[in-house]
A and B are shown apart, each in its own frame.
Chain A
Amino acid sequence: MDNDNNVYPLDLIIKTLGKENVSFNEMDLICYMQDLAPLPETIISIFSTKVPSMIVRPKNADQISAVLEYANKERVPVTPRGGGCSGMGGCLPIDGGIVLDMTSLNSIISIDEDDRTITTQVGVTFQKLLEKAYKKNLKIGTYPTSAPSATVGGYISNGGHAGIGSPKYGSIGSQIQQLEVVLPTGEKEVIKSPYSDIFVGAEGTLGIVTEVVLRAYQIPEAFSVLSYGFDNIATAFKGLEKMLRSGVRPNSLTFMDRSFLEIESKLGLNVPQVEIAFIITLEGKKQLVAEEEAKLNHVFSGGKSLDPSFALEEWDRRYKSELFIKRSGPTMILVEVSIPIVKLGESVAYLKNLSKKLDLNITFYGIMGEKGSMLTLPLILTDERLEENFFGVLMKALKMMGVVINMGGKIYTAGLYGSPFLKRIHGEKKLELMKNLKKEFDPNGIMNPGKLIESRISWLATILMTEG
């Protein structure tokens, strides 16, 4: 790996940010080169040919503006990073350069009970934001299950389409009233909805979002947690389709399959013995919640109501659930795909079949997104220290993603590893348009290079998406 550490002049940045907010220390660099993905260095080094030269921790948009102005002039790559809890490599500084640690933009500017808006810098975690809003009897509509780590900016930049609240309140994008962004050329802009949406899901490639005004909601009068179990996968998902048409909009819905429950059981939790379990929360006026509960009992009549203590326990553990089972790996590969609920039954069946053919043990977990979609996670437990074996497993996992895309499913976040699939999903023309848009915003190509619409590994897509 190259280390271009000596090449870049540093005085301006150090002066603007303060030297305690800039680091060249090797140990710091190591920590900022990784995200959630369990990839050994040999694999990362295929994508990442340079070590970053520094980590900077700006406090506000003006400081970021100074950094980007400099980086744009000197053609230094800049990679923003929030909680680093996505596994798709979006925050990996693969071309070296500067890593922008956005967690230092952590001030909550105002929580307005009358207007029902929250104005905040983007480095605040959702857990923190929820806690503060709760004190003023307000809540955020949609937030990720990685709330203790995920930052507002990270979730927005990755699209924010699935999470707790998404079936009822929509994606985080629809709750943004305006954003403050710093463009790759250094200018600061305040952009109101709907144009602010161009930055939602842009994964830091069009500029850096620094502050956001979010719509907030009054804490609802009633809240209830329910759980249903099914002995048959098809029946479970058919019930879900019925739910979509029934007008019920749950606050959240997660599902887990038998294999997931079995692992939880082995690790000491009390779980039901079913093929598929749903954990559902409802909120709103008392009467509405009661009506929705009654409707759910009806649409899920093909299954049975599970023990309320299981439902409550799983809701209490909502931030931990999908990660806890990693303990039995110790490695877990998280594949994330977005599948329309009306296709969920057949997709899950197909994937189960495929996994048998590929000799993979997969475990299903899912969380409902907006507009009838389900963010589905076929999780693969393995051991990264058995390296040759692990590489094979990794390739099979990516292949599975390719299959889902061929079937019409969509990837959830592209980042680095998902970028090769974009051409297949959007088509060449549209991808070309997106690339031109990127060029318009970022003529020198410094902003989070190699991610999303810019893929260094398209050869991978070709391999992964051919049948066989």
Chain B
Amino acid sequence: MNIEEVYKDLISFLSSEYVKKVENRQPYIVIEVPSTKYLSLLFSIAKKYNLNIGVKKAFLHANDVLKPHGELLVDLRQLNRIVNIDKENLTVTVESGVKFGTLSNVLNSNGLQLGIEPIFSEDVEMGEFILQNGVGHGSLVNGSILNLIRDLEILFPDGSLIHTGFEDASYYATGYNLTNLFVGSEGSLGIITKATLDVFVKPEKTNTIVFSSSDVETIFDIVKEVSKKASTVFSAFVIDKAFIESIRTRIPEIHNEEFLGIVRLHGMKEIVEQEADSMKTLGNTIPQVGEKLWDLRFLSILKETLGEIVLYEYLVPTNKCCEVYYALKNFSSKCKVKPSLYILQIDLKTNLVVFAFRVEDLNKIDHSSLQKDIASLGGTLYSGNLLATTNKRLFSKLKKMFDPSNLLGPKAEDGM
């Protein structure tokens, strides 16, 4: 690929401040797209030079590192309008590049909130979250972001713009359920330009309980117990010492704890209060830090102690969480890597285990042996093109339909 030629072509219709060349590694050019119509032009260039397009994410995830896709990388941050907040229908329509933090603030000021919140950072773009079929805080109640999507506006490589649902946010009619084909496809079938999501009225009361323990089994047991017993649990997650290091300076009440288990309750006032009281008896708690900790819940805080980070996320059966934890710890000491572990409960049976480490340490990690270790414990890598890995036949049918020229990454043969 002749980078210079492509670059010249690109800056003929886009200001050079939006187009950046990257030396020596893929993706070679990063394009910040000012609006949807430029995306279509981009597609025709990609077709002309037979290039592959990926969508930029706020974080590096395992797959981005292992198989970087796309010679061109598209940054959708400028598609950042909050198009409409419909208080009657309880929906919000946003462009893909709207950051979660921004959206959350605007919704809050309207007495509303999203049903599922990303764990990575407030800078996660909504389009990115959807492309990964994101799970996060609230998944215990609402599953994955998929369940909260009413409509997606998708731009296809042939330039057509389709709504998978309805623009007026009215819910459903008969016909094929197209929305879910694009969720979790990592941009390989089409690029999401707009999304309409369900929103919820802010709960009457919230309460965050922080459990501490020096032992990983104990903390997992406590958190599991609480999510089984309490009906108002919005989120339940466990953080390890490395994460605690990053937040300690801001929360003096936290000292040398090995593990913290955080449970966030939300719902009707009396019920939350009653459940908070009874759940606190299930383990050692640190009083008065709940709300402060909740504000610092994002993985992005690790950047302060670790610098630029890479995230490997695994879906692990709940009863294997401890073993996976130990496996990751062993692996890290073998590779001389200093990681942080963050474990989010998604449902009774499954947890999301996030293994965060410094970008610099990437080359110290033997990826395939790590995959094997985790897989032998029943864990699966979370991000990546889930459809391609779980149903090759279905994926190839859809790929043929929506992206016959293979412009969107990852490449069809990889299917990763």
Contacts and interface: CB of A to CB of B under 8 A. Distances in A.
A247 interface: yes
B401 A371 contact: no
A169 B271 CA distance: 20
Contact of A159 (B174, B179, B204, B390): B174
A326 interface: no
A422 interface: yes
Interface string A95-129: 00000000000000000000110000000000000
A373 B259 CA distance: 44
B176 A434 contact: yes
B311 to A, nearest CB: 22
Given A291-B270, A340-B89, A429-B162, A198 B349 contact: no
A285 B163 CA distance: 39
Nearest to B397: A440
Contact of A170 (B147, B173, B200): B147
B19 to A, nearest CB: 31
Interface stretch (B26-34, B164-172, B325-333): B164-172
Nearest to A418: B174
Interface residues of A, number: 62
Nearest to B111: A245
Interface string B201-212: 101100000000
Interface in B137-167: 143-144, 146-147, 150, 160, 162-164
B239 to A, nearest CB: 27
Contact of A201 (B146, B175, B393): B175
Interface SS, A side: mixed
A440 B203 contact: no
B90 interface: yes
Interface residues of B, number: 50
B400 interface: yes
A194 interface: yes
Contacts, number: 142
A426 interface: yes
Interface stretch (B6-14, B97-105, B180-188): B180-188
A194 B146 contact: yes
Contacts of B268: 247, 288, 291
Given A338-B172, A370-B171, A408-B168, A200 B177 contact: yes
B173 A198 contact: no
A115 to B, nearest CB: 6
A340 B168 CA distance: 11
Contacts of B390: 191-192, 195
A265 B393 CA distance: 56
30 contacts: A158-B174, A170-B147, A173-B177, A174-B143, A183-B393, A192-B390, A193-B146, A194-B183, A195-B390, A195-B394, A201-B175, A202-B177, A241-B88, A245-B90, A245-B201, A285-B271, A287-B271, A340-B170, A342-B88, A370-B171, A410-B172, A418-B174, A422-B174, A425-B174, A430-B178, A434-B175, A437-B178, A440-B397, A452-B175, A453-B175
Given A174-B147, A195-B181, 10 more contacts: A241-B88, A247-B268, A287-B270, A288-B268, A373-B171, A412-B174, A430-B163, A434-B176, A437-B398, A438-B176
